[in-house]
Amino acid sequence: MNEENDHLEAALRSLKPRAPGARVVVALHRELDPPTQRHSHSWFFKTGLTWAGAMSVCLVIVLGFYFSRTHSEPQYHLIGVAQSQPSLDVFNPVQLEDGTYARPVRVHWNRSAQWEDPATQTRLIHYQPQEKLALIPLEIF
Amino acid sequence: MSDAHAHQDWRAWFAENGARLKLIARQWTRSDADADDVVQEAFVRFWKHQRHMPGNPNALVVTSIRRAALDLLRRSDRRTAREKAVAADTETVGWFEPESDPRLQSLAESLELLPAEQREVVVLKIWGELTFDEIGEQLAISPNTAASRWRYAMESLRKLITARTYE
């Protein structure tokens, strides 16, 4: 039986399996090519894609910046500056260190500036309160 | 990682072994074209990831073929029943080159008639150049089971050849 098996095994070994199709061989040769030989196409393609991508991103950033500057941000123009009438607070006289007398007074007023965005007619008003303290010397007769 | 096969000419290796690799792939695929696809995918996978590994590359390539074939079968299972039927009907390509010796031709045809579980053991042993231990690992069976299937296969082949001789 073993001898028969050996004969059968030898006969099987003599059979010649069909080779893979030509497209497999071609595909494998393409895959197994050293990278330097396939460098040109893929490298230029990848580099081109990278640069195109980078340039696109830059373009988007520049355009975005431009449009945000020109269209999104309001353009305010100064249209006037005003100052309110001053008001005066007069306090009781006080004695100073040198023995003389003086009357404290406080003057306060407001300054305002207005800007307007002509596109939206939006106004920006800036109030600036002002205050001054002073001592008016008093003469005692 | 050091390349254990740095000087190996893999094109030449494939030219020498491609046919038997395809026969192995054919055991787990439904058509000749599928076997081609599997061999291509498996060999590229091996070449990219495992060619540097030490030892005989044969077992690694066979493992890669089985994995690629099972992947393809899983993908193919999603095809419609109609597509499968058409593929099965159109499959007429033999596994071996035609033989001038009628006894060898009969043997080649008989091999294809074996039950799949016996046939794959025969193919892995003869053309996969694997031991029963390695066949057991590939097929997730014990070496004894592999050896047993081999004996049944030899017996079946003898019966088939004898029957064909007296047809």
Model confidence over B41-90: pLDDT tens digits? 999 999 888 888 887 888 899 999 999 999 998 887 766 555 555 455 45
Radius of gyration of chain B (CA): 17
- Look at residue B5 and tell me whether its pLDDT is greater than 80: no
Residue A56's domain comprises 22-72
CATH code of the domain containing B111: 1.10.10.10
**pLDDT average, residue stretch A65-88:** 79
Q: What is the DSSP letter of A74?
A: -
Pick from B20, B44, B108: which is nearest to A31 by CB?
Answer: B44
* A28/B20 touch (CB, cutoff 8 Å), yes or no: no
Q: Is A34 on the interface with B (CB under 8 A)?
A: no
Whole-angstrom distance, CA of residue B76 vs CA of residue A64:
49
Closest residue on chain B to A33 (Cα):
B11
Residue B125 and residue B77 in one domain: no
Which of A31-40, A79-88, B35-44 has the highest average model confidence (pLDDT)?
A: B35-44
- Cβ contact A90:A103 at 8 Å: yes
Residue A120 and residue A95 in one domain: yes
The number of domains in chain A is 2
Q: What is the pLDDT of residue B135?
A: 94
Taking the model in full, what pTM does it have? 0.60
Mutate to test the interface with B, among A5, A6, A15, A29 (most CBs of B within 10 A): A15
Q: Which residues of A touch B111 (CB under 8 A)?
A: 12, 15
Q: Which residues of B touch A14 (CB under 8 A)?
A: 104
- Cβ contact B64:B50 at 8 Å: yes
Q: What is the pLDDT of residue A76?
A: 84
Cα separation values, B13 from A14, A15, A17, A135, B43, Å: 20, 19, 16, 108, 11
Residue B6 and residue B82 in one domain: yes
Residue A126 and residue A106 in one domain: yes
